Chain A
């Protein structure tokens, strides 16, 4: 399959007056048409920064230190603002968590959706409004015509989330970057919306990157999963194999924690030591039960234990062969 979007060795840092802090250390990720990748990891692992980097939304104090983001044969990192403006919202669309904050509080919903539509389509205001009604209907908002004249502060959080998603669907984008789609939505609605996104990806040959902390969402709606820890993808695998046998100790811990929460045994879940990621060697080593002296010496490179499966762990082979328990 040809890749739609190829992120290659992306490095991002954040500058303060006390120096530079690396945030993404060489992220590589490919998206194929029809593919949905779930990105999981704790807050601060760099998921949102990754998504925003793709759209060229990172301004100072963020800086891109290296890598490529390839889309339609061009490197998006070399695009200027005007070129990016043409891509954003049309080819690559984004949804965000905290949807209410992301809507303009002083203009009506209809006006905002129409502006998004008219940014890339040469249609009349009336046609844009009609399309807005259609989009709101698609994401399951009742009485869409009535909502057009409303303001964001008059809507619930879940309603705002659906409005944001409606805006992301306005242009039949090839790539959907879906950041925390289920936060604030009840189960029925989030299922409805994820079904909708899955349908679009399948029917249009689009691709989606779904950032979520909800492993259930990833398990049901994604083909592949990428686990991020401290600015690196530590493991990437097809969803089925990943959930059967995670190879990275951090992945294993995520799954155990999720299972513990499901079994209402949160109290017995491992009290994770609140240790910061290491700067040298494997960044997870300080929290890892299986860490050896070698883990602290160098950053483990990606190993490919099976086709389409990547892991960054010195002990992955031992884990895979069941020699150690994760």
Chain B
């Protein structure tokens, strides 16, 4: 009898007086959301600056980025050289603002590849997990492969991938893409496992859709939020790994302006007191990674209204 007494709808409950939660989406809603969150706004600004510098950074600096300047060895910061010069007589400021070109390109391309493969494999392994026959083996196989890839410490595996293929931007992209696939795979799979239990999937099945069609046209679009929200922090993480690889000489070759390799060039000078050589590229690197992390946090909150209370 209690069932009849109950009106099992949250809308009829006592807290229904709360303002309705606005639907995620819409430029206006987004602008208002950003406006209320200074951290998110800061993150977006940082991301905007890195994208801008990736486009024009190499051309707007006061000095060439890969050429030694005669006579200006290890100059401390000054009006002429705002960030000083390094041991090879190169202007650090010009190189710092030119670096996003390579760092961001590597991070963006590798994250994009990892996203595409990770999401596709995640849908397959999540949607067909627990089924019988071939699909189940495919699902299990994908997960075990992901386990094995993740059995290696990230940086060592990246080092090994680049080490065996040789340094260079393309190989760094390949290594980072490969490393990040299991990450997107797991996130997508988790979302798919929830979505596939929802009633509208059953409805789509009753309407005569094939399993593959359901997986990619009904489940996939509804499971995209978690992987999409993780694109930005993954870009930041990839920038960090790229700079680490370059720092030990396994990434982008010198003298291409890249933050990690600039820190490597400055490293010996830090012990002799020329602090500016490594300080500025590191700050640029840290701020960029922070920016992408903040955008990731903000997007996660925006895309998941339940977290907004």
Give the interface of A toward B (CB within 8 A). 14, 16-19, 21-23, 40, 42-46, 61, 213-216, 230-231, 254, 257-262, 266, 269, 272, 274-277, 279
Cβ contact within 8 Å between B18 and A18: yes
Task: Answer yes or no: B134 CB below 8 A from chain A CBs.
Answer: no
B34 to A: closest C-beta gap in Å: 15
Some 26 contacts from A to B, beta carbons below 8 A apart, are A14-B15, A17-B308, A17-B309, A18-B18, A19-B18, A21-B17, A42-B5, A43-B8, A44-B10, A44-B15, A215-B1, A216-B1, A230-B13, A257-B4, A258-B5, A259-B1, A261-B1, A261-B3, A266-B3, A269-B4, A272-B7, A272-B12, A274-B9, A276-B11, A277-B16, A277-B17
Contact B15 A23 (CB under 8 A): yes
Q: Does B2 contact A (CB under 8 A)?
A: yes
B interface residue numbers (CB < 8 A to A): 1-19, 308-309
In the complex, A80 Cα to B287 Cα: how many Å?
Answer: 44
Is there an interface contact between B309 and A274, defined as CB atoms closer than 8 Å? Answer: no
Asked if B7 and A21 make an inter-chain contact with CB atoms under 8 angstroms apart, the answer reads no
In the complex, what residue of chain B is closest to A255 when comparing beta carbons?
A: B5
Please, which residue of chain B has its CB at the minimum distance from the CB of A18? B19
A274 touches B11 (CB 8 A): yes
* A49: nearest chain-B partner, CB-CB: B14
CB distance from B84 to the nearest CB of A (A): 46
Given contacts A16-B309, A274-B7, A276-B11, contact A213 B2 (CB under 8 A): yes
Contact of B18 among A21, A40, A42, A266 (CB under 8 A): A21
Instruction: For B3, list chain A residues within 8 Å (CB).
Output: 261, 266
Among B7, B12, B18, B19, chain A packs the most CB atoms within 10 A around the CB of B12
**CB neighbours of A22 from chain B (8 A):** 17
Q: Which residue of A lies closest to B6 (CB)?
A: A42
Question: For residue A277, which residues in chain B have a CB less than 8 angstroms away from its CB?
Answer: 12, 14, 16-17
Q: How far is the CA of A224 from the CA of B142 in the complex (A)?
A: 62
7 cross-chain pairs, A with B, having the tightest CB-CB distances, nearest first: A44-B13, A261-B1, A276-B16, A257-B4, A213-B2, A261-B4, A258-B1
Q: With a CB–CB cut-off of 8 A, which chain B residues contact A276?
A: 11-13, 16-17
Complex Cα gap A276–B19 (Å): 12
* CB <8 Å contact, A279 and B6: no
A42-B7, A260-B4, A261-B4 given; 11 more Cβ-contact pairs under 8 Å: A23-B14, A43-B6, A43-B13, A44-B14, A44-B16, A213-B2, A216-B1, A257-B5, A258-B4, A261-B2, A261-B5
A61 to B5, CA, bound (A): 29
> Closest residue to A262 on the B side, CB-wise?
B1
A15 and chain B: residue at smallest CB distance = B309
CB-CB < 8 A to B19: which residues of A?
18-19
